[in-house]
């Protein structure tokens, strides 16, 4: 074999070796994923969340990536912490931190309250007695934030019967408000009626004779001795009357005290109705829910003057407003009644 033939064959062998090494390198890169490393792609760099909602820890809510195996490897953390006894954070700015191997992406999360309060059991028209103002305590509203209710009745003349327009406003601490216009009907003034009765308690007095006739001497007049009791008539028509014999004294019987007002529903009946409302909405009644270890909705005041229908409407409305913000698979709900005094209850919805 010539030297040239050996040189050619050696060159061919070297070329094959290089090709084999390159093929092995490419295959190894493919198997280890180095050649197709996926990158996290954000849907957006910021996200708004309504106050009352919990912050999601699902990477699908922040990334456009669709590979399920890839998403399972993404770790989601947040700087937000839930408020005391609640399952959601306070209003404010937070960060979502997504981590995949050596990749890190951040999303700015803003928790905002944009939901206006909701009136509970409000009417289109209210009637008031003459010269009696419409009480703003009649109006109730629910919200996750503290609510202030105000009544604008500046156009109502409570001293003049008629129909007027008024506006009630419910405003929460975030500035969201709900207004409701209504008609206020001022009733006519009730006049006091006076009656005159006759009977044993009434007395009738005959007019006395004129002073001229009584002092004029007369031959037919009769003299009355001191101490005597006479009712004889004189010739001039004058009559002498013994007051002790003509006046009758009567005693008016004492009036019985008015019965004490009673509640339209007992506490047991209110609790049973609250439990029914919770069940109707697909939630579980939780006897473990207390104000100390759970979230609770702003209270509604139940008054002794409320009718059964009004009390039920308040209880149902409060429960529906609360449960509308919750997941029945995650929360148990309970109606909690707190007696303030003989005429008022606070009703809370605990979860």
Check: CB of residue 350 under 8 Å from CB of residue 318: no
Task: Please give the pLDDT value at position 293.
Answer: 60
Q: What is the DSSP letter of 63?
A: B
192, two tokens = 């006091």
CATH pick for 114-188 out of 3.90.700.10, 3.40.228.10, 3.40.50.720, 2.60.40.10: 2.60.40.10
Consecutive sets of 10 residues in the chain, 351 residues long: mean pLDDT of each?
A: 51 65 63 64 94 93 93 94 91 95 94 94 92 90 92 94 95 94 93 56 43 40 40 44 47 57 85 89 83 70 85 88 82 84 83 81
Check: CB of residue 76 under 8 Å from CB of residue 284: no
Provide the 3-class DSSP secondary structure of residue 125.
strand
Distance of CA 214 to CAs 11, 233, 246, Å?
Answer: 171, 12, 21
CATH pick for 46-112 out of 1.10.3470, 1.20.1530, 2.60.40, 2.160.20: 2.60.40
Question: What burial letters (b/e) apply to 20-46, b meaning 16+ CB within 10 Å?
Answer: eeeeeeeeeeeeeeeeeeeebebeeee
Helix H or strand E segment including 267: helix 267-280
CATH 2.60.40.10 boundaries in the chain: 114-188
Check: CB of residue 304 under 8 Å from CB of residue 257: no
Q: Tell me whether residue 54 is exposed, middle or buried, using C-beta atoms within 10 angstroms of its C-beta: 0 to 12, 13 to 18, 19 or more.
A: middle
Nearest 5°: the CA angle 59, 61, 66 is 65
Among the listed residues 271, 307, 295, 298, the one whose alpha carbon sits nearest the alpha carbon of residue 350: 295
Task: Please give the pLDDT value at position 233.
Answer: 41
Task: Please give the pLDDT value at position 114.
Answer: 95
């Amino acid at each position: 074999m010539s030297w040239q033939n050996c040189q050619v064959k050696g060159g061919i062998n070297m070329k094959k070796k290089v090709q084999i090494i390159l093929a092995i390198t490419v295959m190894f890169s493919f198997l280890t994923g180095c050649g197709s490393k996926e990158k996290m792609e954000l849907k957006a760099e910021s996200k708004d969340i309504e106050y009352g909602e919990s912050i999601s820890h699902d990477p699908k809510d922040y990334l456009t990536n669709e590979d399920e195996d890839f998403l399972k490897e993404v770790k989601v953390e947040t700087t937000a912490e839930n408020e005391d006894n609640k399952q959601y954070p306070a209003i404010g700015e937070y960060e979502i931190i997504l981590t995949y191997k050596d990749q890190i992406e951040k999303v700015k999360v803003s928790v905002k309250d944009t939901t206006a309060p909701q009136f509970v059991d409000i009417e289109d028209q209210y009637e008031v007695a003459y010269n009696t103002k419409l009480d703003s305590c009649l109006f109730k509203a629910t919200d996750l934030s503290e609510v202030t209710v105000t009544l604008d009745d500046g156009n109502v003349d409570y001293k003049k019967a008629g129909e007027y327009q008024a506006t009630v406003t419910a405003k929460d601490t975030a500035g969201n408000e709900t207004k409701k216009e209504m008609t206020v009907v001022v009733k006519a003034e009730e006049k006091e009626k006076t009656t005159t009765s006759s009977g044993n308690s009434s007395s009738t007095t005959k007019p006395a004779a004129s002073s001229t006739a009584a002092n004029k001497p007369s031959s037919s007049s009769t003299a009355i001795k001191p101490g005597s009791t006479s009712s004889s008539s004189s010739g001039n028509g004058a009559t002498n009357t013994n007051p002790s014999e003509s006046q009758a004294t009567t005693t008016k019987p004492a009036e019985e005290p008015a019965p004490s007002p009673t509640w339209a529903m007992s506490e047991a009946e209110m609790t049973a109705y609250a439990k029914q409302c919770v069940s109707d909405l697909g939630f579980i009644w939780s006897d473990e829910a207390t104000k100390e270890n759970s979230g609770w909705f702003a209270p509604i005041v139940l008054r002794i003057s409320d009718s059964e229908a009004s009390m039920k409407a308040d209880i149902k409305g409060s429960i529906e407003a609360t449960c509308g913000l919750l997941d029945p698979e995650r929360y148990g709900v309970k109606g909690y009644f707190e007696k303030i005094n003989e005429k008022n209850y606070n009703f809370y919805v605990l979860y």
